[in-house]
Amino acid sequence: MALEKAHKFFLQAFIANGIFTAREVHKLYRETCERFDREFCDRVHNEPDLGPFVESINMNIKPFQLEMKKAVDEANGVSSFVLVNTADNSLTKLSSTYSENELELFKKLVEKIVGSGTGSVSSIEALNLSSTCKMKKPEAESFFTNMIEHKWLKKIPDGHYALATRCIAECDLYILQQYPDDARTCNMCCRLVIQGESCRECNTTIHKHCSQRYFKDEVVPVCPNQACNAEWLHRQSR
């Protein structure tokens, strides 16, 4: 098996960057086509014909337990492409660039975020975890900043830390396996949901973007759990 230059070029950008939003991917794809004189399909939606291109990369990198996949930002519904590890030791990718202590701290942070119910923890709580990992607070802080830069973590408007799309795409299975009691799956798409909308009566949770689609035409939205049917409050508050 071998890939064309254009595919390799595109793939290397992903290896270096990890994640691109759909908009960035299209830009990258356009640049790639220009550089290698490839035909660039501009369709009705002004979208390049990325699908088959990514597909042939995926076929070639699958043996190496790598995959490019689509992921959706839990907060704003923006879709991205992420290069993920499909090997079961999904923290391996991280482990190269970070020390053992840092990795330990990150695992603890993930645990705390998953168990928080809100899908985020305050920066003070996050920094307090450092002492259990033999790290000083300033060290931990610059580690978190680095994690934000590399799009594993994000800071949400209230200053809390939350898991960024790249992290969820990469570690979703790990989180579901590791924290079966706390990790929830979306009632709509069945994937892991960290920051979503929850029913106030039952345990049902769905992604914001899934909820938007599901309740689009509902006048009085109710919990998608048939046994519950309680009013879905999130939609009204908007």
Partner 1 sequence: MADETQLMFSQEEQTVSKQSKVLCQLSAEEISKIVVDLVRYLLIMSQKKLPIKRSDINKTVLGDKSRGFDHFIEMAKERLSLVFGMELIELELNSKSYILLSEFQDHPYLNCYSAGKTECSLLMIILSFIFMNGNVISDNQLYDCLRRIGIDIEFHHEVFGDVENKLKKDYVRQGYVEYSRVVGAEPVQHEFKWGLRARKELSKLKVLDFVAKIYGEEDPSNWTSQWEQANAENAPNES
Q: CB 237 → partner 1: shortest distance, Å?
A: 40
Least Cα distance to 123 among 98, 102, 148, 103 occurs for: 148
Q: CB 9 → partner 1: shortest distance, Å?
A: 6
Tell me whether residue 58 or residue 116 sits nearer to partner 1 (CB atom).
58
Q: CB 94 → partner 1: shortest distance, Å?
A: 9
Interface ranges with partner 1 (CB under 8 A): 1-3, 5, 8-9, 11-13, 15-17, 28, 31, 35-36, 60-61, 63-66, 87, 92-93, 95-97, 149
Tell me whether residue 13 or residue 109 sits nearer to partner 1 (CB atom).
13
Tell me whether residue 40 or residue 64 sits nearer to partner 1 (CB atom).
64
Q: CB 217 → partner 1: shortest distance, Å?
A: 42
What is the rounded CA–CA span in Å between residue 54 and residue 67?
9
Tell me whether residue 56 or residue 128 sits nearer to partner 1 (CB atom).
56
Q: CB 138 → partner 1: shortest distance, Å?
A: 16
Contacts of 71 (CB under 8 A, 6+ apart): 19, 79, 80, 81, 82, 165, 166, 168, 169
Tell me whether residue 7 or residue 235 sits nearer to partner 1 (CB atom).
7
